[in-house]
Amino acid sequence: MKKILFVAAILVCSMAAESRAKAQTTKSVSYLSNAKSLEKALSLFDPFGSINTKAVRDFKKNYPNADGEQWYSFKDGFAVKFKEDGLQHMSTYSRVGNWLYTIIYYEEKKLPENVRAMVKSIYYDYSITMVEEINLHDDQTIYLVHMQDENTWKILKIADREMSIVEDFNKK
């Protein structure tokens, strides 16, 4: 907010100085003449509006075959959604461009055999509807397995060879 006010003050001062100056050319400053244009100019200085170049470089290095990337800026960092090898991904970065984690979304058939066996050994009557594979910065992988049967929806968390129920909903 302070940054925006500072930029606004500079723009106002430059407008005042320009109106007093006897310039040889008549340069138009129409972009500063109405409130919407001024607001648009100030939005260029929004600290959450630009993506950190370190994050972009890291992304391009680690995902050279990414397709359809879309970047998002939020208070604590950045996220990029993209497809790679036909799978939907989302990677997140801190405000300073450090990679935090990546989530890969896929179906049951892409789930690693050992994880699928662990889930199906207990929940054999459930069908797996979606898997979220979360890869963290310390080489840890967490699986969130979304599943359902006739009466319930469940989300299981599998990490470090341990399985727990994260959410359990009744359909009726």
- The domain total for the chain is 2
User: So what's the pLDDT on residue 49?
Assistant: 55
Whether residue 61 is found in the same domain as residue 37: no
Sheet containing 99-106: order of strands: 67-74, 77-84, 87-94, 99-106, 127-136, 141-148, 152-159, 162-170
User: So what's the pLDDT on residue 154?
Assistant: 96
User: Residue 113: which H helix or E strand, with range?
Assistant: helix 113-122
Does 19 fall in a domain? yes
Whether residue 138 is found in the same domain as residue 67: yes
User: So what's the pLDDT on residue 39?
Assistant: 41
Q: What DSSP string describes 53-76?
A: HHHHHHHHHH-TT-EEEEEEEETT
Whether residue 164 is found in the same domain as residue 84: yes
Whether residue 22 is found in the same domain as residue 80: no
User: So what's the pLDDT on residue 152?
Assistant: 95
Whether residue 130 is found in the same domain as residue 75: yes
Whether residue 39 is found in the same domain as residue 78: no
Does 48 fall in a domain? no
Does 96 fall in a domain? yes
User: So what's the pLDDT on residue 30?
Assistant: 35
Whether residue 37 is found in the same domain as residue 83: no
Whether residue 27 is found in the same domain as residue 77: no
Whether residue 21 is found in the same domain as residue 66: no
Output the pTM of the full model: 0.69
Whether residue 86 is found in the same domain as residue 113: yes
Q: Shortest CA distance to 103 belongs to which of 143, 75, 71?
A: 143
By residue range, what is the domain housing residue 7? Answer: 2-43
Whether residue 39 is found in the same domain as residue 62: no
User: So what's the pLDDT on residue 50?
Assistant: 85
Q: What is the CATH number of the domain that holds 149?
A: 3.10.450.360
Residues of the chain with pLDDT under 70: 1-49
Q: CB-hemisphere CA count at 13 Å for 141?
A: 10
Whether residue 90 is found in the same domain as residue 131: yes
